[in-house]
């Protein structure tokens, strides 16, 4: 059976919500449409939980293991963002966020401080004046005179 997953109009009555839940393969208790007040106009598409593919069980027998999803399972509206090789909204950070900010600002601040300190000390290649075989003799070069 092939289902039409195109969103229909926003369900207003309980009967329309039950029909939309059946359309997406969800139970009536699990089905909740995306709120219509935000201006997106997504119709009766279900408001699914935001769980990244990286957080799903690796050992579950998925129908599509590379996407960690089953056949006829409705996709989250942000499926292309929360796939396994992208953003994971349910990931736990290893350290608190302030540690990441302090590390970032410390590195950028350290390099900026070193730049400000050593900006006046230019690094150039030392060289001696050009040497000629005999002093007092004309030597022809093809460089312009300054």
Q: Flag whether pLDDT at 117 surpasses 90.
A: yes
Phi-psi region of 115 (alpha: psi -120 to 50; beta: other; left: phi over 0): alpha
Q: What is the pLDDT of residue 36?
A: 79
More confident residue, 78 or 122: 78
What CA–CA distances, in Å, run from 1 to 4, 13, 17, 61, 107?
10, 26, 21, 22, 57
Kindly report the pTM of this predicted structure: 0.61
What's residue 28's pLDDT?
Answer: 92
Q: How confident is the model at residue 4, as a pLDDT?
A: 64
Q: What was the pLDDT predicted at 99?
A: 98
Q: What pLDDT sits at residue 39?
A: 67
| CA 11 from centroid of its chain's CA atoms | 33
* Residue percentage of the chain with pLDDT more than 90: 44
User: Which residues in 73-85 are b (16+ Cβ under 10 Å) and which e?
Assistant: bbebbeeeebbee
95 pLDDT higher than 90: yes
Asked if residue 1 has pLDDT above 60, the reply is no
DSSP at 37: G
Question: How far does Cα 146 stand from its chain's mean position?
Answer: 56
* 3 state SS of 69: strand
| pLDDT for 124 | 82
State what percent of residues in the chain have pLDDT above 70: 94
Is 35 a residue whose pLDDT tops 90? no
- Position 105 scores a pLDDT of 98
Structure token pair of residue 3: 């289902």
């Amino acid at each position: 059976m092939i289902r039409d997953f195109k969103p229909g109009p926003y369900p207003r009555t309980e009967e329309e919500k039950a029909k939309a839940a059946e359309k997406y393969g969800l139970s009536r208790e699990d089905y909740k449409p995306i709120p219509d007040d935000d201006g997106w106009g997504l119709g009766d598409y279900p408001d699914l939980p935001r769980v990244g593919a990286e957080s799903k069980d690796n050992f579950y027998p998925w129908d599509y293991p590379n996407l960690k999803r089953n056949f006829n399972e409705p996709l989250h509206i942000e499926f292309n963002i929360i796939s396994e090789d992208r953003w994971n909204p349910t990931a736990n950070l290893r350290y608190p966020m302030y540690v990441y900010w302090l590390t970032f600002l410390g590195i950028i601040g350290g390099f900026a401080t070193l730049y400000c300190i050593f900006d006046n000390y230019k690094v150039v290649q030392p060289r001696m004046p050009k040497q000629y075989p005999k002093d007092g003799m004309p030597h022809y070069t093809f460089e312009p005179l300054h």
